[in-house]
Structure 1
Amino acid sequence: MIKNAHRISASSLLRRIFCSLFVVAAAVSLVAAVASSNAVGQRIGGDAVNIANKVAPWVVEHTAYGQQAEFFVVLAERADLRPAANLPTKTEKGRFVYQTLLEKARTTQGPILQWLRERKIEHQSFYIVNAILVKGTRQIAEALAARPDVARIEGNPLIHNNLPQPEPVTEAPSKPQAPKAIEPGITYTHAPDVWGLGFTGEGIVVASADTGVRWTHNALKPHYRGWDGVNADHDYNWHDSIHDSVGNPCGNDSPFPCDDLAHGSHTTGTMIGDDGAGNQIGMAPGAKWIGCRNMDANAGTPARYIECMEWLSARNLRRNLHSRSLEHWH
């Protein structure tokens, strides 16, 4: 199993993470950091100068003095997704993008995967970005960078996110407090006016990629796509991209939705929360949710983020919206 041995702190602090149904900007910057730039499509030669230019400074730093680090081998060939624009429906577009990305990875990564297997080097293949996560030394990174089918070598740093924490309770209430019927923030957005027109999110599936979700919460459980009112089915409704945590309350590869920091439960509640008894905390109480844990408490990596993105794309083509919490790295 690939483990993260090197940690860095994010240079910019998240004082407050704004939670809504459209948190996509951070994900765009994430994928762009690994897969963008027109230079990716160029086939670069294998001389010493070009090899050095193809290895990111973070990888150079973290493989110094014989150290091993996790890094992405980003391939030069990229899938052509432009034909998706001509397809008539969102479902067809999504299926075309998924199948095209997957096929491009399958047809281009084979020689590198074989090279890694022959040398028993830890690795993980990705298709949403045509890249392979590798754990290795500088020598391995440079050998891979010398290949003409490799565009560049990027790092997989551990990124510490400064997520909002629950405030301490300084004084217990004198009597039980009844929940407010509709949260002020929901009222402020005029969501109840939209509900009155008959639009509550019914038929929509939203996806959370965060610290996980406490699926048994009263305001969340009725809306979990894996809950039919009697039995739970977590297949295709939940994925855990945390595989090497130490001491995390959710453990590793949790088979059911679990939240190790409460942040993901909060953001999911903002999307769909409603306990059916008057406590309406979500924008779209008629929608269903699915989830993926992409952070070990407050720590994520590009590989964890991408793994959740792949799962959401491959396994849940019927989902409509994503909410992601992550931190950009520099």
Structure 2
Amino acid sequence: MSTQGYKIESRPPQARFARGWHCLGLAADYRDGQPHRLDIFGRRLAAFADSAGNIKIIDGYCPHMGADLSTGTVQGDNIACPFHGWQWGGDGGCKSIPYCKRVPPKARIGSWTTCEQNKLLFIWHDPQGNAPPPEVAIPRIEACFSDEWSDWALDKMLIHTNCRELVDNISDMAHFGTVHGAPVDYFANLFEGHKGTQLMIGRSARLSGDDQLTALSTYFGPAYHITEMSGRMGDQPIHSILLNCHVPVDANSFELRYGVLVKRVPGLSDAQNRAMAQAYVEQARGAFYEDVVIWDSKIRIDNPLLCEGDGPIYQMRDWYGQFYTDIESVPPGSVERRKFELNVAGIEPPALHHVFEG
């Protein structure tokens, strides 16, 4: 016989995908002259580059007889259907039919808004069909265009859980020590508008040796997450930028891309810099994948039982909920400026503390 304990609430994820920009990896990967299959947002899409190199994304199934356009061919500015050769442009319109002079007026499929920034491709998703407002534009990272930094080193994997588990990490202070062996001295969150920011000061034998590890990370919307991190590899200080982005496949899985930029160390050869950058990438990647092991076996919990040493999980989820709500119905409190601070070790507020002022 067991006694009654805390009752876990676990509701199915809502059948809706977040409003916002979602990263699809390196833009250059889509400029190979081939169509690319995308299984995201609960549907099949097809991506391709037109004759000017502009990347277009359209609905993936031909409405003529249902063929998968991502298995077709790119011909000029269009994708040609592999079944009957109907050609579809990046605007979703049918441009020609090889055996018919007249294109039916209804011959149109969905087209998707895209943008490129930081050498990455993004797709805009909004269940209401609204265009992206200017204030949510992806900010430029100068390091992506500087010879002083390495190129992106990207990994892609399919995670079999709802993407909220990943986003929870921005406020889950306590897991750094337990999962990653990186105890935290200082931890803060700032939520305002479409941005959710974390400032973490701690220690990590893998990423900073005996020195302090400083990480400033921000979600720009629901799915694009950038971290600026200062650590150490041996005796050498290392400055890195981490990309942690996802696109939902369905309610219970998401496609994750994890990438790292590393600042080149003056005085080292190109080969030495590449070797050091790759070693640091592998250390950072290994630390991140420790989370994946947890997600593989945990359950979804909507009412987590928290203690005073936990981060603001409920407040973070309130902020995150805006992306699953019609824009006109978002509660003002979900997007107002809110700051939370846990000075675990009682240290002097770090130099980056100014980010949270105002």
- Please state which structure has a larger fraction of its residues in strand: 2
TM normalised by structure 2 equals 0.22
- Please state which structure has a larger fraction of its residues in helix: 1
Structure possessing the higher relative contact order (Cα contacts under 8 Å, 6 or more residues apart): 1
